[in-house]
Amino acid sequence: MIHLVLSLLVVAQNPEYRSPAGVQYVSQPDTGAVARAESSLAADPGNVDKIIALGVAQSGIRRYREAIQTFTKGMAIAPSNALLYRWRGHRYVSLRLLDSAIADFNKGNALDSNVYGIWYHLGVARYVRGEFAQAAAAFTRSQRIPPDTNELAASTDWLWMSSMRAGRPSDAKAALARVPDTLHVTSAAAYAQRIKLYRGEISPEQAFTAADTADIAIATLSYGVGNWYLLKGDTARARQYFQRSVASGGWPAFAFIASEAELRRLH
């Protein structure tokens, strides 16, 4: 019985990504969302919305390789659906396959240039590659069309960082001015904290709160503080926070991915 449970766990947790440090990260077990999405799609296999729902469910438990396969199958059915490129490109970013991600985002933009998620994730991919001016251009587009205040906070945060890294502090300041002083956010709380740091409302040490225990939150906050120190010219402290980010375990976080890139550049 023990061997059966272990076998099922191995099947449920697939290898997804091996870090530059040699750490192997795996997916999480399905608690029902993927099974429900698979059942729904089986009853209507040509439904693109259900294909996307399955890919999103797979992504929710960090089965990014399966999600990519799902979105690719959707493209065979609906090759002109920009959202399929948005979602597959997003998951290519999760696996650090940035060239493939950017190709998908460019294809998606050619089909529909008004999809928030395409511009936002294109900005992330460009940023991780160190193409900060191009990242800023993408985040400028996404900041104009956020679907909610959570995404407004996210786009503003990355736009500020991109502009600063591109040597455009006036653009960075303008990005902050385009959002309310108080952002009412839920899922983007870490980004809201980082924006407070950029505005000088809190210190780097105050960016972390007692509620910040999840791996993604720690990775996100650590990168933001590390980048803040990097912009100040303090590479030693920046490195410490980038290392804290990658030690968090939150490997799908864009901040984790960016921290890996920063550590390579600082090597």
Note if the pTM is more than 0.85: yes
Residue 90 domain flag = yes
CATH code where residue 63 lies: 1.25.40.10
φ, ψ for residue 25, nearest 5 deg: -105, 145
State the pLDDT at residue 8.
44
Residue 26 domain flag = yes
pLDDT tens digits, one per residue of 61-79: 999 999 999 999 999 999 9
Reduced to 3 states (helix: H, G, I; strand: E, B; else coil), residue 147 is coil
Residue 248 domain flag = no
Residue 33 domain flag = yes
Residue 48 domain flag = yes
Residue 14 domain flag = yes
Residue 126 domain flag = no
Both structure tokens of 96:
């650090």
pLDDT tens digits, one per residue of 239-260: 999 999 999 999 999 999 999 9
Mean pLDDT on 152-170: 97
Closest CA to 100 of 115, 73, 79, 121: 121
Does position 5 have pLDDT exceeding 50, yes or no?
no
Mean pLDDT on 21-37: 96
Query: For the purposes of burial, counting CB atoms within 10 Å of the CB of 158, is it exposed (0-12), middle (13-18) or buried (19 or more)?
Result: buried
Query: For the purposes of burial, counting CB atoms within 10 Å of the CB of 211, is it exposed (0-12), middle (13-18) or buried (19 or more)?
Result: exposed
CA distance 29 to 206: 34
The total number of structural domains in the chain stands at 1
Contact 142, 175 (CB under 8 A): no
Q: Taking all residues of the chain, what is their mean pLDDT, rounded to a whole number?
A: 93
Residue 105 domain flag = yes
Would you place residue 12 in the very low, low, confident or very high pLDDT band (cuts 50, 70, 90)? low
Would you place residue 6 in the very low, low, confident or very high pLDDT band (cuts 50, 70, 90)? very low
Q: Tell which wins on pLDDT, 115 or 21.
A: 115
For CA atoms 244, 245, 251, 257, the dihedral sign is negative
Question: Domain containing 81: what range?
Answer: 1-113
CA distance 89 to 122: 8
Name the β-bridge partners of 24: 18
State the pLDDT at residue 157.
97
